[in-house]
Structure 1
């Protein structure tokens, strides 16, 4: 690629192309196409919808011809560009994927195919950009933003600035490959999250089970059972509100229940996770006796739903001062547990189902320290098995995070190129 500022051309383009981009009347370059069909009563047809925010063309199910009341339908082909006339101002445009080849649409949709001057793949990208989104809005009429209707004839009178189809094809291929990378990492991320959810259910036994359904080879002993009161001791928390915290400077980190519920995973890395700091050094001096250690558990004791009881196991504190904050219950194991085991076990359904009967409240649910003490925990007596379980889930989380970051990285790259490769 090369920077280019002369003539009518984007800032960045592929080196092989030097011709200026041309202003074209949309109606002269968009090849509208409609393939009317006669609906047969006993034939099944796949219908589509175009999602908002340029999220693509998707199936909305199958119907027999007799069940489709409005009969004015047309067939789609893979690669068609589709506009939802009633949702276009919300980004409801997209290209038909191969999986929906042969699906049908009503006359509420505008369909276009490749022309000599404009490829649908390129048009799909252009349609997602602010300049074209503005044209869609200006060519729509109505009072309510949710009920604006698209005037295709008015839109076709407007102009679009485009390169030759050879360059359009190269640009389309580039963004298609970027989308494939994004989709790949999103798919791996989703699959790993589903695997983690399944394994959290299978690798921790319920109270009436002697051992989990899935465990590592070499371990056969039944798991031990102990009350929370006998296995863990309480560490005092504080009631500092968000007004007493910041993310810039301070002598101590403070774990707020809201962050446990919405940001942190089962294991909190005190060095890398974004834990807020206590603004007043004077307050920190009064909390020194409640500082937490690696392996301590901090649980959210309030939430608007059954997420109450979600907790984190602390890791990698080092020399930092870390304390438990507002609406938390801090617990310290009395005996040694392998790193990460308790963090994942206490967040699993095997333990969390015990919390349901002790939740109190209506709009906001809460749990008490006294009620928590009566609950039971299950654990392997062999600390090596605990270690294997904790490490398995911790490494799984590292992979999940890695694919989330990769997907985000490619999304940011795409946004940057969308800004610099188009006019």
Structure 2
């Protein structure tokens, strides 16, 4: 028999949780906007990430029809089930309206919470995708074009295992605390990314600017225009293609850096030789150069292998490689690579290296390159540390969703 007690439980609570139909906790709402008390500005959307939120605030405009008469009224603390499939929630999602009253279309079912349920507990319970999907799967019938067929009353006939209301409240409070920490950490990461972006546009010339908007203390020397072939030189280190497995390097488009994958024995490229990747090189995918598939290699890329379609270039003396991660890999360079990659879209567009090397850019002296890259890379490390902290908080919440429910 399945346990009716969670693995982790607050002190002071004992006994099994109750296994009952969800209809014991919720009552289907029949309230409609027949007198047009609410307008288009009051239409609500239901988001996997943000929950119940004003549609205009969330999506920038209202998607309601000419008339909102007959839309369902969702009061504060009402539960809303949206019958629209999402990738990870193929039977829809269930959220609590934690904000002001509003209206939703007929695609949504609305429920009033009974006295035996803490409204926020419902959303927290269904925040775990597997639990949500397992509950809805037996109740929902998928129709043509992936429509979800289930009546409002039928959607709450499935069984759930809930504690008494006082324990629901205690659990909900703990999740409010972790959600507040996550929300704060999201804000911290966003502010750091915005600050980094502002520094990038201030410390490096933008567009047709001939000098940066802000100079670091102690630097007054003019920046010099150089072509790329004055900055880099071809780098080749060739080995025979391994036949017992190897680590391959790839380049993400849009300047998003490199990634690695393991090529097992028997799946190697049908080429006699491959290039060895070394750190602090400029590397480009000539097939997708027009999508800015360009990177400055990192220490973690050391020793990875690439085909001839990934040429590398080392930096000449008095050039700081990491500086060009910020100064070179941008939209202006992407436009140049597009022009240097003739042909139609996709694999038929191959970058002409000689044309790429004609690219001209403003470059400061070596010391200023290092000073700028030190500041920007410092922010990158700070952003990475805070994103790791955010990941840990999100993982903690997922562990709580696993261990604190039946």
2:90 is aligned with 1:95 = no
Find 2:17's aligned residue among 13, 21, 32.
Answer: 21
> 1:54-93 alignment to 2 at 5 Å?
56-61=51-56, 68-87=66-85, 89-93=90-94
* Contact 2:240 2:273 survives alignment (8 Å): no
* Matching residue of 1:410: 393
State how far apart, in whole Å, the 2-side matches of 1:239 and 1:143 are: 56
1:48–1:103 Cα contact (<8 Å) kept: yes
- Superposed, 1:275-314 pairs within 5 Å as 294-303=279-288, 306-314=290-298
* Aligned equivalents of 2:221, 2:38: Cα separation in 1: 60
Equivalence for 2:351: 367
Q: Distance in 1 between matches of 2:240 and 2:400?
A: 44
Tell me how far 1:224 sits from its aligned partner.
0.8
Matches within 5 A, 1:99-248: 101-129=100-128, 130-144=130-144, 146-206=146-206, 208-236=208-236, 246-247=246-247
User: CA contact under 8 A between 1:235 and 1:330: conserved in structure 2?
Assistant: yes
1:86 Cα deviation after fit: 4.9
Kindly report the root-mean-square deviation, in angstroms, between the aligned alpha carbons of the 2 structures. 3.8
Deviation at 1:313, TM superposition (A): 4.0
Specify the SS of the correspondent of 1:90. Answer: coil
Whether the 8 Å contact between 2:322 and 2:373 is mirrored in structure 1 is yes
Aligned residue pairs, count: 392
Unaligned runs of 5+ in 1: 248-253
Change (3 A) 1:274 1:358: closer
8 A contact 2:342–2:350 mirrored in 1: yes
Provide the rounded CA distance (Å) in 1 between the counterparts of 2:152 and 2:36: 30
Matches within 5 A, 1:306-345: 306-315=290-299, 321=303, 325-338=307-320, 340-345=322-327
Answer yes or no: is the 8 Å Cα contact 1:141–1:148 preserved in 2. Answer: yes
Determine the structure 1 residue equivalent to 2:7. Answer: 11
* Partner deviation per Cα, 1:140-177 (whole Å, 9 max, x = no partner): 23533721222232344432211011111111121222
* SS of alignment partner, residue 306 of structure 1: helix
Q: Which moved more, 1:411-420 or 1:291-300?
A: 291-300
State the match for 1:251 in structure 2. none
In the alignment, structure 2 segments of 5+ residues that lack a partner are: none
Query: Cα offset for 1:122?
Result: 0.9
Deviation at 1:422, TM superposition (A): 1.3
Equivalent-residue separation in structure 1 for 2:251 and 2:231 (angstroms): 26
2: distance between equivalents of 1:135 and 1:275?
37
Tell me the CA shift for residue 82 of structure 1: 0.9
Cα distance in 2, alignment partners of residues 154 and 74 from structure 1: 17
- Supply the distance in 1 between the matched residues of 2:211 and 2:243 (Cα, whole angstroms): 46
Which of 251, 259, 266 aligns to 1:259? It is 251
- State the distance in 2 between where 1:279 and 1:15 align: 54
CA distance in 2, matches of 1:346, 1:8: 59
SS at match of 2:318: coil
- Structure 2 residue 31 is the aligned partner of structure 1 residue 46: no
Kindly state the Cα deviation for residue 226 of structure 1 after the two structures are TM-superposed: 1.6
Give the 3 Å change call, closer, same or farther, for CA 377–70 of structure 1 in structure 2: closer
Structure 1 pair 85–42 and aligned structure 2 pair: CA distance change class (3 A)? closer
TM norm structure 1:
0.78
Alpha carbons 1:205, 1:211 under 8 Å: kept: yes
Asked if structure 2 preserves the Cα contact closer than 8 Å seen for 1:351 and 1:377, the reply is no
**CA, structure 1 residues 413+145, in 2 after alignment: closer, same or farther (shift >3 Å)?**
farther
Does structure 1 conserve the Cα–Cα contact (< 8 Å) formed by 2:255 and 2:329?
no
Question: Residues 373-418 of structure 1: CA distance to partner in whole angstroms, max 9, x if unpaired?
Answer: 222232112x232112111221121122222222222222222222
Change in CA separation of 1:201 and 1:354 when aligned onto 2, cut-off 3 Å: farther
Residue number in structure 1 paired with 2:381 = 398
User: Matched residue of 1:12: which SS?
Assistant: coil
TM-score normalised by length of structure 2: 0.81
- How far off is 1:21 after superposition? 0.6
Tell me, in whole angstroms, the C-alpha distance in 2 between the residues paired with 1:279 and 1:306. Answer: 32
After the TM superposition, which of the residue ranges 107-116 and 173-182 deviates more from structure 2? 107-116
